Amino acid sequence: MTLATLSEVLQPALAGGYAVAGLVTLGWEDMRAYVAAAEAEGQPVILQAGPSCRAHTPLPILGKMFRHLAEQASVPVVAHLDHGYTFEECKIALDSGFTSLMYDGSRKELRQNIDETAAIAQMAHAAGISCEGEIGFVGYSGGEGSNGTDPQEAAVFARESGVDAMAISVGNVHLQQDKEGGLDEARIAAIQALTQLPLVIHGGSGVPVEQRRKLARSTAICKFNIGTELRMAFGSALRTAVNADPDRFDRVTILKETLEPVEEAARRVLRGMR
């Protein structure tokens, strides 16, 4: 069994100068492909259940799916709650077998974010699992704008929240479909100078691959969350499979044809972390 906590994969990454991919899952087909990709590349992987995934499949089911894949895997697999918005939701994830909780209080004022995140971190640590928090707000392509992380606030958050990893807003944007943007390396350096925590980039699909690799090797960024580019690979593979034979109707037969393209897309992501 290679089920791991977030700290168990990020601390070696911090020491070794590489990053671990947090891959956003939506269902069995993609999470299975992600683990196969991680095994093929010989790298750990973080399976992430975000809000849209949880709206489709209940947390207790997702926990069992993640743990089943981890038990069969030859590489460390983290079962991670992504963007948990309430204490109750995080508690359900913990009780469902998740090994890492990400509490998102980034829309709240600093003191409230620290206090609420600290309560989640304390609960997680008491159960022997990890906690990720977010300071500064990472916006959405075509939606809410970002609020960049203030380095001084990040230092206070890191010190007082008790988290094992800290997500920051440094030019990254959720749901970005191209890689024409880039991260603010000066802000990253200012944050890193004030804390020893592993840093996390949400919205990693919009970060150029070479910058991902550079920052993984040279900074405390140890985790890039990748969702959009993998969803695009799944959607393209699914369209190809459906259009290949209009008379086919069996969903299992059709969905099987997404495995190889999504696995290859995930392997490309993993290779860009080192």
**Least confident stretch, 78-87, 91-100, 131-140:** 131-140
Distances (CA, A) of 231 to 91, 170, 210, 252, 266: 28, 23, 21, 18, 10
Question: What is the three-state SS of the chain?
Answer: CCEECHHHHHHHHHHHCCCEEEEEECCHHHHHHHHHHHHHHCCCEEEEECHHHHHHCCHHHHHHHHHHHHHHCCCCEEEEEEEECCHHHHHHHHHCCCCEEEECCCCCCHHHHHHHHHHHHHHHHHCCCEEEEEECECCECCCCCCECCCHHHHHHHHHHHCCCEEEECCCCCECCCCCCCCCCHHHHHHHHCCCCCCEEECCHHHCCHHHHHHHHHHCCEEEEEECHHHHHHHHHHHHHHHHHCCCCCCHHHHHHCCHHHHHHHHHHHHHCCC
Residue 182: pLDDT band (50, 70, 90) is confident
Residue 250: pLDDT band (50, 70, 90) is very high
- Give the model confidence (pLDDT) of 153-170 as tens digits: 999 999 999 999 999 988
Using CA atoms, how far apart are residues 65 and 139, in angstroms rounded to an integer? 29
Nearest partner of 184 among 169, 198, 165, judged by Cα: 169
Q: Does the reported pTM lie above 0.75?
A: yes
The label of the residue with tokens 């911090």 reads: 14
Q: Catalytic one among 82, 104, 150, 164?
A: 82
> Could you tell me if 248 and 254 are in contact, meaning their C-beta atoms sit under 8 angstroms apart?
yes
> Could you tell me if 222 and 15 are in contact, meaning their C-beta atoms sit under 8 angstroms apart?
no
- Determine the average pLDDT of the residues in 231-235: 95
Identify the burial level of 181 via C-beta atoms within 10 angstroms of its C-beta, where 0-12 means exposed, 13-18 middle and 19 or more buried: middle
> Could you tell me if 171 and 158 are in contact, meaning their C-beta atoms sit under 8 angstroms apart?
no
What pLDDT sits at residue 172? 74
What pLDDT sits at residue 137? 79
What pLDDT sits at residue 214? 94
CB count, 10 Å around CB of 18?
Answer: 15
Question: Which CATH code, of 3.20.20.70, 3.30.1370.160, 3.40.50.510, 3.20.80.10, is assigned to 3-271?
Answer: 3.20.20.70
What pLDDT sits at residue 178? 60
Whether 245 is a known active-site residue: answer no
- Determine the average pLDDT of the residues in 237-265: 94
> Could you tell me if 6 and 164 are in contact, meaning their C-beta atoms sit under 8 angstroms apart?
yes
The label of the residue with tokens 């140890």 reads: 222
